[in-house]
Structure 1
């Protein structure tokens, strides 16, 4: 009961922006930035200005703000509140311009069409903060655009929205969830670091792997810890993750930006390298604890190193015991190590009727693995899945896909571990032809037996 109460309190706290939280800021341009909310700290957003971290604490995640003068902020209903409404005080005052029915008279002259210089723009920016300065700057840029009246109404609307996204000093504070962290990496074009994984494929993998509280899962994650993070969010502090890795230490740098404490990660995440996993009995460290008087006589730094070492030894022994016992509740495999040669060797560590999920950027690799599973008969229904979500941009009356969005999200193979019974005979309705053949074979056996006895 107490555990449920503490978990409820923690979940409620995660809905409120607090000190020492890692959060992700979304700017009007769509760009994102990960920051830590430090007490009395100043957060810089580059050309959008800076603000004091204390002013956003206590608000709910998803709250939007506008940067004012003196590093202060003002809460808003949304990041675009009032910008699209022409009657709103927050909207950009657009000078009176005519428009064209089409773009036939529009000539691309590059920077020559804009009469406002970069020096004038910087001068207006220095006049203060807040959305009033941004609106003044956008109005100045539109007035200095000599071809603005030759654009169509739709082109003019798109131009204004583009400038609002560029100069509006607003931002939204969102929780650093696995999905937001993954999208941040994709937007920064760091696809290699996350193996090309997409948000929708990650969600499907968690569902097919049946990740739930209390489970004991075998995981290989080379996305920097995003897959492990997604699993931790679904496990709610109950269960363990045995994390396989190829190096001396697992590459889980993204977990450092989550709001999980070191004690929580130590309790749930059990790292183990491949050599220790394949030969658990031969890799158990034989390091016993020192007597209490010896530990007390150690210098402070040496005593701390000793405690850290004993903590790692204990964690490693627990992981090796899990491996020797086997019977994991599922396998989630996201690695550049070819699964065709490795995954079949570790399937025996998964308990029966448990799910396995193997991810790859390339479908051909998973096809080869599915052929092995079909012959091996230890994986039921090995299927390959993919999901592609296309983003669209809209203005009133117009809709078309975003041409610069990142495509693809990888593939994954999912199946259920089964344990075939040795010597089992298939049952079911046999065809009359097959039954007749079997009956003739039985008659021949009886005749041969009678002749031999005679």
Structure 2
């Protein structure tokens, strides 16, 4: 991620009320923050991230002007918010150690303490030119019981007024964790299955999701970094995995494009003749879903997957950008294409091949249509065949479907030692899955399988249809099943006031199932090893072996 604000980038604006506002910085437009004001987007393009800006009341042709708050000013306000500012100690009660201590014994909480009326405050809003600072100063000056407040009470009152009247915001970079917290707290949490930031970290950890290289390997070498995903969180899980794999954020600089052009294979480049000089290499247009390493394959149940949250990271699934890393590394397969590909018309109906002589006689529009259909069929066929071949390095599932039905199809497509991670907001589906992969089920499955194989003749293979009807999944190919939950609860940590936040959001706890793909051996395993016997006690000899032994015995 870059450290400065780029055009058309999505950022998070943190308002004084600690609320977040997701905004796309489009050049030559105005960003509106409702009651906090508005400003021109061009004023923050090219500025560093994490800067705090203040919206001034002065205007020009582009709108309200902005002022960058210095670190000294922000640090002074932080001390006031923490109750560490300068407090007068006159007429204070003595504490246990004799130190002066202010109490709220004489304070009467009533609206009459504030002398300013609503009409006067509205007039101050129109006349003040300090972006709310003059209003806060007037409110503190006109408060009749301000000198009776304790340091903590005064800090809370000042902070509350600053959040209400100060017009400022802080620009934060939008990452997966910040987006998850924003959707959980201020948007529809059901859209992402109440997936919290700590659950996203566990999914990436147990799923062994990591960067696996961008170099295309030779055909005889096994591709690595291929993950299968079943995502019903609008693309949040895909974004989290892509962030860990290093393919989420777009490469928008010319230097990155030059490096990609230099690293491109010879067959992916072409030469164009320039009249002013020698031929120059040109990068051929990349093919969608064409990467073989460091890829994510999304399995979905509809015409196309729901990955709407990827737009916050510069990738639109309906109109993808060819320069984005996900354009070639994000692949999608429907359940129909994975289970019965011949039932899908996109896969089964191959467009007829037209000879080059016939293509020359066709019109430009028909020739373009032919190439479009042919390329789409080849792309779908290659992705489906690659997905059905399996050998994935991991499986991550976040869906409301029955987990057993997903694992029954996907686990046989995994490579050896591939991790399996399933997230569910409720524990009941995963508890049922734990029972399906338990030791008792595994023992019963092996016994039933041996019984069916013993009944079959030597020339015929055993009919395992009844075995699969009785057992939904094969409990011998996933070890060891683990179920866990991790939810971080915020606490208020203050001197003498440490307790959990009572206003914390409830909702689902969230549970994660984890297992490892294994291949059971076809041979019988017998325990073998060296049996250790007890040492025999050596009997003491009656005759000494030397003169020294004689002295010792005597």
Decide: shared fold, TM above 0.5.
yes
Query: CA deviation digits over 1:5-27, x for unaligned, max 9?
Result: xxxxxx5xx33211111111111
2:186 match: 188
Displacement after TM superposition at 1:423 (Å): 3.0
- In structure 2, do the counterparts of structure 1 residues 146 and 278 end up closer, same or farther at CA, with 3 Å as the change threshold? farther
Paired residue secondary structure (1:256): helix
In structure 1, what is the Cα distance between the partners aligned to 2:496 and 2:10?
A: 39
List alignment gaps of at least 5 residues for structure 2: 93-101, 213-224, 248-292, 443-474, 533-554
In structure 1, what is the Cα distance between the partners aligned to 2:338 and 2:144?
A: 69
- In structure 2, do the counterparts of structure 1 residues 167 and 25 end up closer, same or farther at CA, with 3 Å as the change threshold? same
In structure 2, what is the Cα distance between the partners aligned to 1:312 and 1:121?
A: 64
Paired residue secondary structure (1:204): helix
Which segment is superposed worse, 270-279 or 420-429?
A: 420-429
Residues 1:173 and 2:171 are matched in the alignment = yes
Alignment counterpart, residue 28 of structure 1, candidates 16, 20, 26: 16
In structure 2, what is the Cα distance between the partners aligned to 1:95 and 1:38?
A: 49
- In structure 2, do the counterparts of structure 1 residues 40 and 233 end up closer, same or farther at CA, with 3 Å as the change threshold? same
Displacement after TM superposition at 1:72 (Å): 2.6
Alignment counterpart, residue 217 of structure 1, candidates 227, 251, 255: 227
Query: CA deviation digits over 1:308-338, x for unaligned, max 9?
Result: 6555444422321122211111100001112
1:329 match: 393
Which segment is superposed worse, 244-253 or 196-205?
A: 244-253
1:280 match: 341
2:517 match: 417
Displacement after TM superposition at 1:193 (Å): 0.6
In structure 2, what is the Cα distance between the partners aligned to 1:257 and 1:311?
A: 29
Q: Is 2:426–2:509's contact at 8 Å kept on the other side of the alignment?
A: no
Which segment is superposed worse, 156-165 or 388-397?
A: 388-397
Alignment counterpart, residue 236 of structure 1, candidates 242, 246, 259: 246
- In structure 2, do the counterparts of structure 1 residues 313 and 163 end up closer, same or farther at CA, with 3 Å as the change threshold? farther
Query: CA deviation digits over 1:318-375, x for unaligned, max 9?
Result: 3211222111111000011121333233211111111110000012221111221233
Kindly indicate which of the two structures has a greater share of residues assigned to helix.
1
Query: CA deviation digits over 1:118-170, x for unaligned, max 9?
Result: 443333233355xx342222233345556655654322211211222232222
2:286 match: none
1:8 match: none
Q: Aligned ranges for residues 423-434 of structure 1 at < 5 Å?
A: 423-428=523-528
Alignment counterpart, residue 478 of structure 2, candidates 351, 355, 379: 379
Q: Is 1:95–1:143's contact at 8 Å kept on the other side of the alignment?
A: no
Paired residue secondary structure (1:67): strand
In structure 2, what is the Cα distance between the partners aligned to 1:94 and 1:23?
A: 38
Q: Is 1:242–1:270's contact at 8 Å kept on the other side of the alignment?
A: yes
Query: CA deviation digits over 1:227-259, x for unaligned, max 9?
Result: 101111122235211111122221111111213
1:125 match: 125
1:262 match: 321
Structure 2-normalised TM-score? Answer: 0.66
In structure 2, what is the Cα distance between the partners aligned to 1:144 and 1:288?
A: 81
In structure 1, what is the Cα distance between the partners aligned to 2:70 and 2:41?
A: 19
- In structure 2, do the counterparts of structure 1 residues 212 and 114 end up closer, same or farther at CA, with 3 Å as the change threshold? same
- In structure 2, do the counterparts of structure 1 residues 141 and 152 end up closer, same or farther at CA, with 3 Å as the change threshold? same
Q: Is 2:136–2:161's contact at 8 Å kept on the other side of the alignment?
A: yes
In structure 2, what is the Cα distance between the partners aligned to 1:252 and 1:188?
A: 20
Paired residue secondary structure (2:430): helix
1:101 match: 103
- In structure 2, do the counterparts of structure 1 residues 32 and 236 end up closer, same or farther at CA, with 3 Å as the change threshold? same
Across the aligned residues of Structure 1 and Structure 2, the Cα RMSD in angstroms comes to 3.4
- In structure 2, do the counterparts of structure 1 residues 380 and 137 end up closer, same or farther at CA, with 3 Å as the change threshold? same
In structure 2, what is the Cα distance between the partners aligned to 1:203 and 1:153?
A: 39
1:139 match: 137
Paired residue secondary structure (1:353): coil
- In structure 2, do the counterparts of structure 1 residues 314 and 82 end up closer, same or farther at CA, with 3 Å as the change threshold? farther
Query: CA deviation digits over 1:372-431, x for unaligned, max 9?
Result: 123312111221222121223456774443332324551111111101112331435699
- In structure 2, do the counterparts of structure 1 residues 271 and 147 end up closer, same or farther at CA, with 3 Å as the change threshold? farther
In structure 1, what is the Cα distance between the partners aligned to 2:304 and 2:339?
A: 17
Q: Is 2:132–2:166's contact at 8 Å kept on the other side of the alignment?
A: yes
Q: Aligned ranges for residues 31-110 of structure 1 at < 5 Å?
A: 31-68=19-56, 69-70=58-59, 71-77=64-70, 80-85=74-79, 101-102=103-104, 105-107=107-109
Q: Is 2:226–2:394's contact at 8 Å kept on the other side of the alignment?
A: yes
